[in-house]
Structure 1
Amino acid sequence: MQQEIHFVTGKGGVGKSVIAAALALKFSRQGKKVLLVELGDQSFLKDFFDLADVTFQPHEIKPNLSLALWTGESCLREYAQYLIKVESLAKLFFDNAVMKAFINIAPGLPELAMLGKITSGPRKYGPAMNFDCVVVDAFATGHFKALLAAPSGMAQAVQIGPMGEQSRSIIRVLQDQNISKYHIVSLPEELPLKESAELGEYLKKDFAVEPGLVLNKVLEVNVPLTSLQNAETLTNSDLGMFAQYIEQQLTRQKMMFDQAKRSFKDISKVPLFFETEPWKLVEKVVEKVP
C-alpha cells in the first residue's frame, strides 16, 4: 500500500488541529495505521487531550493512531544519525558550536529537514516509517508556504550532490497527488477565506495540486427562514433580536460559501459543535471531514 500524506493548514485560530486529529482518527477507524504529526516546539494536542507527553518518537493514543511532535532540529538529528550511523558522533556533530550556528542561520534548513522526514516513507529514504497514512498538523498558512518552498530553494542553491537530489525527490512527492493531499481549514469569514484562497492559488500554481477546503464551525440552524423572520417582528424582545442575528449570520455564511466556491472545487463543511469534551468533539468532526 502506498503511504499517503495529508497536510492540514489554515490561518491561526481556525481549528486546524482538531480537523487534523479528526482526519487521523477517521483513517485509523478504516483500519489504516496512522501517524498524526504536530510540527513545532510545542504540542497543542498534548494539553487538548490531556496527554502525559508528546515526543519525537510516535506514541499510540488510540488503536491504529499514534502521535508525534517534530521540530527541525529533531529531524536533522535523526537524519545525521542515520547518515553517520554512530549516535555519539552524530551528537558530537550537533553539539559543535559552529554547526549550531550554521543550523540557526541556514535559510530553510529546519523546514527542509521536517519535509525530508515527512516524505521519507514514499521516498524510501531514512529510518522506516511503518505507517499507512501520515496526517500533518502543519504550520499556519504563511509559515506553511515557507515550509513547502524550502526544497525548491535548496535545489536551486545546490544543483548537484545528495542535498540537491534529496530536495528534488521531496518536491516530487509533494507534487504527487496520489501521495500528498492538502486540506486548508478556514472559518466562513472574510480574512481566513482570503488567506486560504491565496494559499490555494499558490499550491495550484507552484505544485500543480488541487487542495481541498474545510469550512469549520459553520452555524447550522434547523429552523425555517419564515420562522426566523416571524420572530424578528418582535423587535423589542430578546427573541426578536436573536432571530435577526441568526438570519444575518446565515446570510453572511452563504456569501462566504459562494465566495469559497470561486477558489475551491472541493469544499467540506464542519458544523459548529457545542461540545467541551475533546475526544467527543473530535468524534463528531470525524463524520464531517473529507
Structure 2
Amino acid sequence: MTPSTAPERRLHVVSGKGGTGKTTIAAALALALAEEGRRTLLVEVEGRQGIAQLFETEALPYAERRIAIGPGGGEVYALAVDAEKALLDYLQMFYKLGGAGRALRRLGAIDFATTIAPGLRDVLLTGKVCEATRRRRPDGRFVYDAVVMDAPPTGRVTRFLGVNDEVAGLARMGPIHQQAQAVMGVLKSAETAVHLVTLLEEMPVQETADGVAELRAAGLPVGAVVVNMVRPRVAEPNGEPSDGPAAEPADVAPEALAEALRSAGVRQPERLVGPLLTQHADYAERQSLEAAQRAELTALELPVRELPLLADGADLAGIYRLARRLRDHRW
C-alpha cells in the first residue's frame, strides 16, 4: 500500500445497490487488507450468510473465526453479528445482566424487543462492529488492524450508520447515551470510510450519487467508489486495449468488412457482415453509455476503483484475483 500522511482507515464499510456484488467486494477488500502479519475482521450484519458461501465454509457463528489467509500473508477472520446475542453482550457489558439477559431470551423478550424496534437492531449491530474496531490487546495494540463491514444496501446505509445519532439525542445521559456517542465517534472519525460499489449502469450510478450525497449530509466519511464487473474493451489491431470510443457503425463499410473476412479465409463472408455490424452497434452503444456513467462518477470527486468482470463468476479464486487488484490502491 502506498505510504501516506493521512490517518489509516481501520473501519471499512462496504455498501452498494443490490446486485452490484457488494458482499464480494467486501470479502476481496478484507483479503487485500490482510498484509503480512496483519489481521482483518470481515463482518456480516444482514444475516444472509453470504460470506460463508463465498469462502465455501459452514455458516458463520456469532464468534470471530479465521476463514482465510490474505494474498499478503495476513489473516482474515469473519463474524456474523446476531442482534439478539449482541443485545445479551450489551446487557452484560453495561448492566451486568448476563443471567437475567439469558432469562429474557428464554422468555422471548429480546426477540420481541428487536422486532418491534428495528432501530434497536441497528444500534446493536453497529455497536458490535465498532467494539471490534476499538478492541485492544493487553499490550495496547489493536486486536484487528482493519475491520470490513458488509453493510446494508445504499438506500439504507445512511440511516443504518446514523441510528446512534438519534439514540444519543433521545437518551441524554447514562450508558445508552455514552455508548451511542462512542459508536458515532468511530463512524464519523477519519479512521472510517464508507465505500460504495456500483456498476457502469444508469440506476446503480444514480443510486451511488444519491448515497454519496446522503452520507455527506449526515457527516459520514465517504471513501471510494468501486466499479465492479467492468467488461474488457475491444483490442486495437496492435493488441492494446482501446481507450477511445468505439467507431460508429456507419464508419464500417459492409463491403470492406466482407473483403477483410474473405482475406482471412472465411467462406461466404457476406452472411456474417450483418450480424457483425449489429454486434458492433451494440458494443458502440454500450461504450457510449459507460463513458457517460464514468463521467457521472468522476463528478463525485472520489477515488474510483474499477474491477473486471469475473468470467467464471465470484468463486473463491475470483475473490483472490479481485483482492490482488485492490492491493494496488490505498484504502
TM-score normalised per structure 1: 0.88
Contact 1:3 1:132 in 2 (8 A): no
TM-align CA RMSD: 2.7
- 1:172-191 superposed matches below 5 A: 172-177=185-190, 179-191=191-203
Q: Hey, what's the Cα distance between the residues in 1 that align with 2:78 and 2:47? A: 14
Q: List aligned pairs for 1:64-79, cutoff 5 A.
A: 64-79=75-90
CA spacing shift, 1:189–1:285, aligned 2, 3 Å: same
Identify the residue that residue 35 of structure 2 maps to in structure 1.
29
1:81 aligns with 2:92: yes
Cα deviation for residue 256 of structure 1 reads 0.2
Partner of residue 284 from structure 1, selected from 302, 315, 321: 321
SS at match of 1:75: helix
Counterpart in 2 of 1:140?
A: 153
Question: Which residue of 131, 138, 152 maps to 2:144?
Answer: 131
Of 218-227 and 74-83, the range deviating more from structure 2: 218-227
Task: Determine the C-alpha separation between the residues in 1 that align with 2:88 and 2:226.
Answer: 34
1:268 aligned residue: 305
1:118 is matched with 129
Amino acid at match of 1:183: H
Deviations 1:165-188 (A, max 9, x none): 1111111111112x1111100011
**Offset, 1:122:** 4.8
Q: CA deviation at 1:39?
A: 1.2
Distance 1:3 1:77 in 2: 29
Measure the CA separation in 2 of the matches of 1:122 and 1:250. 41
CA distance in 1, matches of 2:86, 2:76: 21
2:176 equivalent in structure 1: 163
More displaced stretch, 167-176 vs 95-104? 95-104
Query: Using the alignment, how far apart are the partners of 1:135 and 1:265 within structure 2?
Result: 19
**CA-to-aligned-CA distance 1:220-245 (integer Å, 9 cap, x gap):** 21423699649854484332222222
Counterpart of 1:149 in structure 2 is: 162
Q: Which sections of structure 2, spanning at least 5 residues, go unmatched?
A: 1-6, 70-74, 237-241, 255-271
Equivalent residue for 1:59? 65
Change (3 A) 1:68 1:190: same
Task: Give secondary structure in 2 for the equivalent of 1:275.
Answer: coil
Report the alpha carbon displacement of residue 52 of structure 1 after superposing the two structures with TM.
Answer: 2.0
2:105 matched to which residue of 1? 94
Is residue 162–residue 184 contact of structure 2 (8 Å, CA) maintained in 1? Answer: no
Which one-letter code corresponds to 1:204 in the other structure? R
TM-score, structure 2 normalization: 0.78
> Structure 2 CA distance, aligned partners of 1:43 and 1:273?
21
User: Structure 1 171/230 Cα, relative in aligned 2: closer, same or farther at 3 Å?
Assistant: closer
Task: Quote the offset at 1:277 in angstroms.
Answer: 6.4
Deviates more, 1:132-141 or 1:90-99: 90-99
Partner-residue secondary structure (3-state), 2:287? helix
1: distance between equivalents of 2:13 and 2:192? 7
CA offset at residue 74 of structure 1? 2.5
Q: Among residues 228, 232, 243, which one is paired with 1:216 in the alignment? A: 228
Q: Distance in 2 between matches of 1:187 and 1:277?
A: 15
**CA deviations over 1:238-275 (Å, ceiling 9, x no partner):** 32222222222111111100011112321111122212
How many angstroms apart in 2 are the aligned matches of 1:227 and 1:8? 31
Which structure would you say has the larger Rg? 2
Structure 1 residue identity aligned to 2:130: T
Q: Contact 1:3–1:121 at 8 Å: present in 2 too?
A: no
Shift of the alpha carbon at 1:203?
Answer: 1.6
- Counterpart Cα distance in 2 of 1:162 and 1:228: 61
- Farther-moved stretch of structure 1 (146-155 vs 85-94): 85-94
Match of 1:253 in 2: 290
TM-superposed deviation, 1:278 = 0.9
What amino acid does structure 1 have at the position aligned with 2:93? Answer: Y
Listed as ranges, the gaps of 5+ residues in structure 1 are none
Q: Who is 2:51 aligned against? A: 45
Q: For residues 227 and 257 of structure 1, do their structure 2 counterparts lie closer, same or farther at Cα, with a shift above 3 Å needed?
A: closer
The answer on whether the counterparts of 2:104 and 2:110 sit within 8 Å (CA) in structure 1 is yes
**Paired AA for residue 227 in structure 2:** L
Q: How many residues align?
A: 287
Higher mean C-alpha deviation, range 49-58 or range 84-93 = 84-93
